[in-house]
């Protein structure tokens, strides 16, 4: 399939609630996942919600990695969008899973930019 990239939608359930509310830990985890998968980090934006929860994104040269956490449910949703073949989004997901733990998780994969040649 001629796709420009892949979008992995990762859900983590049963995570440690303190971890999911620790913006510094989550920032380090996403940056480590980006670097560990060979991505080039271009920018980032993280935000701590009150009373709880963190949203964060790391823009990489190969697209982006986002996370949103709901500590009150032990739940986090991450999405990993990569284009090209240099960075494997599965590797990014593996590192995030290793750092955040959780009782279980799911990953949905969506191809991005399956182009109809008549439009390009």
Supply 59's token pair. Answer: 């823009």
Are residues 24 and 56 in contact, defined by beta-carbon separation less than 8 angstroms?
no
Active site residue 83: yes
Choose, from 83, 85, 105, 106, the residue flagged as catalytic: 83
The catalytic position among 7, 15, 64, 68 is 68
Give me the 1-40 binding string for a second copy, x by CB under 8 A, dash otherwise. ---xx-x-x-x-xx--------------------------
Compute the distance between CA of residue 94 and CA of residue 2 in angstroms, rounded to an integer.
Answer: 25
Catalytic residue among 7, 63, 64, 105: 63
Among 1, 51, 85, 119, binds a second copy (CB under 8 A): 119
Q: Round to whole Å and give the CA distance between 1 and 99.
A: 32
Q: Which runs of consecutive H residues, i.e. helices, occur in the chain?
A: 17-20, 23-36, 89-100
Peptide bond into 62 cis (omega under 30): no
Among positions 61, 88, 94, 99, the unique one binding a second copy when judged by CB under 8 A: 61
φ/ψ region of 63 (left if φ > 0, alpha if ψ in -120 to 50, else beta) reads: left
Q: Which residues bind a second copy (CB under 8 A)?
A: 4-5, 7, 9, 11, 13-14, 42-47, 49, 55-57, 59, 61, 63-64, 66, 68, 70, 72-75, 77, 79, 81, 83, 103-104, 108, 110, 112-113, 115-116, 119-120
Catalytic (active-site) positions: 63, 68, 83
């Amino acid at each position: 399939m001629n796709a420009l990239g892949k979008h992995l939608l990762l859900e983590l359930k049963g995570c440690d609630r303190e971890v999911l509310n620790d913006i510094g830990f989550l920032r380090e985890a996403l940056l480590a996942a980006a670097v560990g998968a060979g991505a080039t980090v271009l920018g980032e934006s993280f935000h701590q919600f009150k009373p709880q929860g963190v949203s964060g994104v790391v823009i990489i040269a190969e697209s982006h990695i986002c996370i949103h956490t709901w500590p009150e449910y032990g739940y986090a949703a991450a999405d990993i969008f990569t284009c090209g073949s240099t960075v494997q989004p599965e590797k990014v997901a593996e590192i995030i899973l290793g750092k955040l733990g959780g009782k279980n998780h799911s990953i949905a994969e969506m191809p991005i930019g399956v182009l109809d040649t008549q439009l390009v």
